Amino acid sequence: MPSSIRLSVKRQDTPTSSPYWEEYEIPYQPRQNVISVLMEIAKDPKTRAGKATSPVVYDRACLEEVCGSCAMRINGVARMACTALIDSLEQPIRLEPMAKFPVQRDLSVDRQVMFDSLKRIKGWIPIDGTYDLGPGPRMPEPERQQAYEYSKCITCGNCLDVCPQVNGRSNFIGAAPIAQARLFNSHPTGAMNAGERLEALMAEGGVDDCGNAQNCVRACPKSIPLTTAIAEMYRATTRYGIKKLFGT
Amino acid sequence: MANERIVVVGGGLAGLMTAVRAAELGVSVDLFSIVPVKRSHSVCAQGGINGAVNTKGEGDSTAIHFDDTVYGGDFLADQPPVKAMCDAAPGIINLLDRMGVMFNRTPEGLLDFRRFGGTKFHRTAFAGATTGQQLLYALDEQCRRYEVSGLVRKYEAWEFLGLVRDVDGNCRGITALDWYSMKIESFPASAVMLATGGPGIVFGRSTNSVINTGTAASAAYQDGAHYANGEFIQVHPTSIPGTDKLRLMSESARGEGGRVWVPRTQGDTRDPKSIPEGERWYFLEEKYPAYGNLVPRDIATREIFQVCLQGYGLGGRREVYLDLTHIPRKELDTKLGGILEIYEKFVGDDPREVPMKVFPGMHYSMGGLWVQFGKNESTGALDETSSKNQSTNVPGLFASGEVDFSIHGANRLGANSLVSCLYAGKIGGPAMVRYGRETSSKLPAADGAFTEAKKRWDAEFARLANVSGPENPHVLAQEMGDWMTDNVTVVRENGKLKETETKLQELEERWKNVGLTDRSGYANREISFINQLRNMLVIARVMTRGALMRDESRGAHFKVRDLSKGVTEENALPRDDANFLKTTIAEHSADGPKISYAAVDTSLIEPRARKY
Ligand SMILES: Cc1cc2nc3c(=O)[nH]c(=O)nc-3n(C[C@H](O)[C@H](O)[C@H](O)COP(=O)(O)OP(=O)(O)OC[C@H]3O[C@@H](n4cnc5c(N)ncnc54)[C@H](O)[C@@H]3O)c2cc1C
Ligand code: FES
């Protein structure tokens, strides 16, 4: 058992300033995770060399991997910090912000693009209103179970961070929103507007830009079958395109 | 009505429902949240949402749901809103279903329902074990639709700091802080909704998200809003102890057949699977044959606490078994997958194979901002068209969701919170719109109030940016949390409550000597936390004073004469309807909370003894 926990954090003071690394060391305690260690450091923020510093800035809320806030690169891998258990990580543990999103400060990044993508694909069921209009459409339970997998997406951004197609030169929408289009198109009411979502996925930066690296599905903390969704949406857009071409 | 604009603070279920309902009426909404709304705490809710649909032929009805809720809350809730909520609940579940929530289904393709605590019926709709996440997303999606159409404008990563009140005391808007640029601005509104959730972090570690500091409610309280029933804090019977958080093990685990037990022999260290049935003590099933493991939370919590005090905790520790291992794997995966994964990820054991180890953890606040409702005087029912609904004592300020005190009385039943949040938003949004229309031509000019409010907060944050005392805010917060957890949760005793009051005052003094380690002018979360900490200390005093003054036991408030004699009925003060069938109302003053009591509306169900 190690006697201490060592962290190395890539920090950045503002969106435009240059990054720098800082090291910290705190006494070992069993069953810690990356967030609980960052919380501990904030109680007396100083570097390993003993120099006073400021607490590391990062995003977190639920601490149980359901809010999607705390995604970062841990020992080089994009994942959720709250479920990154110290006992299973090689030390010193290296923390960096995700690289595909603009850094705000330290480990906190701006993921607004992900919410904007949900607008792009019209990620909602267009209900008539909130008035009491009776029950929704029936759905077979096996289909529901499949769809449920996609509704667990926490918009963390890991799938974008690991995707080689998401880079400064492309505007590939990424796996998460494609899977959301799959979710809404499979809902009986959502299916009524399936075409609109498919058109969004056929536009520039859509499903065609997937390079099939399959990193996304491995990086997803919720084990969502992202590549299955991409393949399905790819086929659906092709079918839709042909249909549209021949006007049938 | 060209520029009707309301402010909604909070993008959990209550806030999003408010925003959607107001936008649907064509009113513009400014929506504020410290985190992107999709990351709000509502996402954590696991088990489900109640609505009496009687699809299992058990004879359930909204009237029984109403009675279960009032009885479960030990008669402390004003009854007309409870009845209205229970009547609306099946419709709310239908609405969510139409919004696309992937609720579990029966073989016929209809919504499936499970059992939860405090009822004998299958009344809880669920989407796996991530119901809150699914519900929040559905509302988030509807809200995004209005964002695209231009009616909703989001201010995410903005923190509410305080109210803007005009010369007559009307709430005319809010002041908020941009979490990145650290800029402070005031925003006008024809009405303001606070839907800022619960105060779990006042207790240090709880089942809540770490953003649930109660800071917004406390700020509104300090700006004149009344806080009601603050002493009623729900401690959930089953959470997974952790150093950063007490992760919830949802009641749905027991709803699906989970059993709570300890070995009959104290200090028995055998592998749980090798302990024969006869040597296990299923103490809840033994003591409460009718409800078994599904007695209401306050009762289950006290029983687990007492069993551990008597030395039956696992290995002498404060832990008991919650056992699912007798249920088939496949069934567990489709119905409880999400929560079993949490246990597996954080503890490392597979709960399908090994009984889980759990202990009670702070979970929910029944108390909150005092709100009223419009009453139809001829029928006695809640009037859904009234602009009074969900309004606080400050004109123009509304509250809904966990931050308001209504519905749950002295103890909340499982799966009743999500429905209460949605119901509050459902009636609250239209009430705000109506209020705005009723008052728009009558209110005084408020320009001065906005400049004043901004000036006040600019000055306060400029001051905080320079504090350099020896106290670390996170250390103070931890002390507050430890004291509150030890003395203001499962068992209360007057001596301890007095000591806690003194301690909180000491912490308030030490807060004045707090020092900043972060001098940055960009995304400085420490400054914001120091401000939140003061707000938490203020609300902690409200809870403690309320508990001290309430000399009875009721629901989650369990007061004993002598702490050393255990958590037993004999040692407890009895419920005292003559003196305390009353809502506690706290009003802020410079020297702590001023407490008064208001009558509870028990016009529909006669209070009776609560025995399970
Ligand atoms: C682990 C867990 C499981 C649960 N399971 C269930 C269940 O199965 N069934 C059930 O009925 N209930 C359950 N509950 C209770 C239920 O989840 C909550 O009571 C409910 O979600 C609260 O919703 P809300 O809209 O009031 O607040 P929240 O969802 O907490 O939202 C609060 C919002 O306010 C914002 N906010 C807060 N302060 C500020 C500020 N100062 N400035 C700006 N914005 C601010 C936040 O960003 C957030 O958007 C559970 C609770 C927990 C802790
Ligand atoms: S803090 Fe919510 S996912 Fe990690």
Express each pLDDT in A130-168 by its tens digit.
Answer: 999 999 999 999 999 999 999 999 999 999 999 999 998
Nearest-ligand number for the alpha carbon of B51: 1
- Atom of ligand 1 minimally distant from the CA of B47: 8
Least confident of A124-138, A166-180, B335-349: B335-349
- Tell me the one-letter amino acid at A73: R
B111 and A CB contact within 8 Å: yes
Q: Provide the chain B residues 398-427 that lie in CB contact (below 8 A) with chain A.
A: 426
Nearest-ligand number for the alpha carbon of B209: 1
Query: Which of A39, A70, A95 most suits a substitution to test ligand 2, by most atoms within 8 Å of the C-beta?
Result: A70
Query: Which of A34, A59, A67 most suits a substitution to test ligand 2, by most atoms within 8 Å of the C-beta?
Result: A67
Question: Which residue(s) pair with B188 in the sheet?
Answer: B173
Q: Provide the chain B residues 581-600 that lie in CB contact (below 8 A) with chain A.
A: none
What is the three-class DSSP state of B250? coil
Q: What span, in angstroms and rounded, lies between the C-alpha atoms of B512 and B505?
A: 11
Nearest-ligand number for the alpha carbon of A154: 2
State the pLDDT at residue B118: 87
B182 and A CB contact within 8 Å: no
Please give the torsion angle defined by the CA atoms of residues B274, B277, B282 and B283, in that order, rounded to the nearest 10 degrees: -100
% of chain B exceeding 70 in pLDDT: 100
Residue of chain B nearest A146, judged by CA positions:
B102
Nearest to B195 by CA among B49, B3, B29, B68: B29
pLDDT digits over B43-62, tens only? 999 989 999 999 999 999 99
- Atom of ligand 1 minimally distant from the CA of B11: 49
Residue of chain A nearest B148, judged by CA positions:
A119
Cβ atoms of residues B60 and B123 within 8 Å: yes
Q: Nearest C-alpha of chain B: how many angstroms from A247?
A: 29
Distance from the CA of A37 to the center of ligand 2, in angstroms? 14
Chain A environment of B125 (Cβ under 8 Å): none
Look at A123 and B97 and tell me if their CB atoms are within 8 Å: no
Q: What span, in angstroms and rounded, lies between the C-alpha atoms of A161 and B519?
A: 31
Chain B environment of A42 (Cβ under 8 Å): 474, 526
pLDDT digits over B225-267, tens only? 999 999 999 999 999 988 899 999 999 999 999 999 999 999 8
State the pLDDT at residue A248: 60
Q: Which CATH architecture has domain B241-360?
A: Alpha-Beta Complex (3.90)
Q: Selecting from 3.40.50.620, 3.30.930.10, 1.10.3720.10, 1.20.58.100, what CATH number does the domain B448-581 have?
A: 1.20.58.100
Q: Nearest C-alpha of chain A: how many angstroms from B342?
A: 7
If you average pLDDT over residues B555-570, what whole number do you get? 92
Q: Which residues of A212-242 are buried (b: 16+ CB within 10 A; e: fewer)?
A: eeebbbebbbbebbbbebbbbbbebbeebee
Look at B44 and A190 and tell me if their CB atoms are within 8 Å: no
Residue of chain A nearest B520, judged by CA positions:
A13
Chain A environment of B21 (Cβ under 8 Å): 130
State the pLDDT at residue B348: 87
DSSP state of B560: B
Residue B166: pLDDT band with limits 50, 70, 90: very high
pLDDT digits over B82-132, tens only? 999 999 999 999 999 999 999 999 999 999 999 988 899 999 999 998 999
pLDDT at residue A217 is higher than 70: yes
Q: Domain extents for chain B?
A: 5-43+129-235+364-446, 241-360, 448-581
Q: Which of A35, A123, A127 sits opposite B244 (nearest CB)?
A: A35
Q: Indicate whether this complex's ipTM tops 0.90.
A: yes
- Atom of ligand 1 minimally distant from the CA of B252: 8
% of chain B exceeding 90 in pLDDT: 93
pLDDT at residue B2 is higher than 70: no
Cβ atoms of residues B134 and A151 within 8 Å: yes
B282 Cβ contact list (under 8 Å, min separation 6)? B259, B260, B261, B293
Q: Nearest C-alpha of chain A: how many angstroms from B602?
A: 28
- Atom of ligand 2 minimally distant from the CA of A70: 4
B550 Cβ contact list (under 8 Å, min separation 6)? B231, B557, B559, B580, B584
Residue of chain A nearest B346, judged by CA positions:
A83
Q: Selecting from 1.10.10.10, 3.50.50.60, 3.40.50.920, 3.40.630.10, what CATH number does the domain B5-43+129-235+364-446 have?
A: 3.50.50.60
Distance from the CA of A63 to the center of ligand 2, in angstroms? 5
If you average pLDDT over residues B502-512, what whole number do you get? 98
Q: Where do the CATH 1.10.1060.10 domains begin and end in chain A?
A: 112-246
B211 and A CB contact within 8 Å: yes
Residue range A112-246 in CATH 1.10.1060.10: yes
Strand order of the sheet with strand B113-115?
Answer: B49-50, B122-125, B113-115
Residue A239: pLDDT band with limits 50, 70, 90: very high
If you average pLDDT over residues B572-577, what whole number do you get? 97
Give the pTM. 0.97
Chain B environment of A189 (Cβ under 8 Å): 98, 100
If you average pLDDT over residues B545-561, what whole number do you get? 98
Residue of chain A nearest B91, judged by CA positions:
A132
What are residue B339's phi and psi, to 5 degrees? -80, -30
Radius of gyration of chain A (CA): 21
B532 and A CB contact within 8 Å: no
pLDDT at residue B1 is higher than 60: no
Look at A61 and B38 and tell me if their CB atoms are within 8 Å: no
Nearest to B259 by CA among B174, B353, B186, B326: B326
Q: What span, in angstroms and rounded, lies between the C-alpha atoms of A82 and A59?
A: 10
Q: Which of A43, A64, A144 sits opposite B44 (nearest CB)?
A: A64
Q: Which CATH architecture has domain A4-109?
A: Roll (3.10)
pLDDT at residue B184 is higher than 90: yes
Question: Which residue(s) pair with B156 in the sheet?
Answer: B33
For the Cβ of A39 lying below 6 angstroms from any atom of ligand 2, the answer is no
Residues of B involved in catalysis: 297
Cβ atoms of residues B211 and B34 within 8 Å: yes
Look at A64 and B38 and tell me if their CB atoms are within 8 Å: no
Q: Write down the mean pLDDT value for chain B.
A: 96
Q: What span, in angstroms and rounded, lies between the C-alpha atoms of B595 and B542?
A: 9
Q: Where do the CATH 3.10.20.30 domains begin and end in chain A?
A: 4-109
Radius of gyration of chain B (CA): 23
pLDDT digits over B430-469, tens only? 999 999 999 999 999 999 999 999 999 999 999 999 999 9
Q: Which of B102, B142, B147 sits opposite A148 (nearest CB)?
A: B102
Cβ atoms of residues B74 and B366 within 8 Å: no
Cβ atoms of residues B304 and B359 within 8 Å: yes
